[in-house]
Every structure is written in C-alpha cells, then in structure tokens.
Amino acid sequence: MAAIEQRKPVGCTMGITICPKHGRSSFVETCQHAGREIEQGKVPAGHDLALLGHLFVCDTCFDQPGFDRFADLAEMPVEKAIDDERWQLYEAACDRLEGREAFCLHCVRELGSSLDP
Ligand SMILES: [Zn+2]
Ligand SMILES: [Zn+2]
C-alpha cells in the first residue's frame, strides 16, 4: 500500500506539496473519482489536463462541465493560455468539480500513469 501524501487543493492552480517520499513536489489535482482510484493504488482512467498544474478528471467529469473545450488550452504556453477567454471558463469548470483531491505528482507517476513532469 503506497503512502500518498494528500492535501486539500486550494484551487486549480499550480502548487507544491510535501511528499514523505519525494519531498517538495508538484501535485496533481484529481476529481474525487480519479482520486479514489489513486488512493487504491490504481492508475486512474481519464484525462490529464496540464495547464498550470495537472488536473486529472475521470471520463464522466470530463464530459460533464465540457472540459474537452479546454484540451487545446493545455497545448498553449501558460502565459498565452491565461489570457485566453477560455481560461476563466476553465477555472469555473474546476470550481464545479466537487471533492477534488491532490496527490504528489511523482507518486502518481509511480503508479504507472503517463503524466508529464
Ligand atoms: Zn470524476
Ligand atoms: Zn511522492
């Protein structure tokens, strides 16, 4: 059973968590469903939206608030993406995700997921 540092996310922005295994580390925010899979040591199924940080949402949540509209936002440089009008929509969509969780990025990658650093 992997011990995964967990803390409540403060928002949809990039932050740092202190992992007992990896020290200071970036974290991945997830919806509650993907978070539950990670807690169980499984590779979560869903979509990784890498904007300021990583936001990992399961298929169901990805469909609900229309996250697919933000997929190409993740392809843009952050400085540009922040100025894009979709950014605020993205943040609003994030706020609608209930029960978000945050995990150490390295721990999630060790589960075998293909998240970029
Ligand atoms: Zn979900
Ligand atoms: Zn870790």
In this structure, which ligand is nearest to the CA of 111?
2
Q: Tell me the CA–centroid distance for residue 65 and ligand 1, in Å.
A: 11
Compute the CA torsion angle 87, 73, 37, 116 (nearest 10 deg): -130
- Domain range list for the chain: 14-110
pTM across the whole model: 0.73
Q: Tell me the CA–centroid distance for residue 4 and ligand 2, in Å.
A: 6
Distance CA 110, CA 74 (A): 23
In this structure, which ligand is nearest to the CA of 47?
1
Q: Cα 15 from chain centroid? A: 11
Q: Report residue 10's pLDDT band, with 50, 70 and 90 as the boundaries.
A: very low
pLDDT digits (tens, 9 = 90+) for 73-94: 777 787 888 888 888 887 788 7
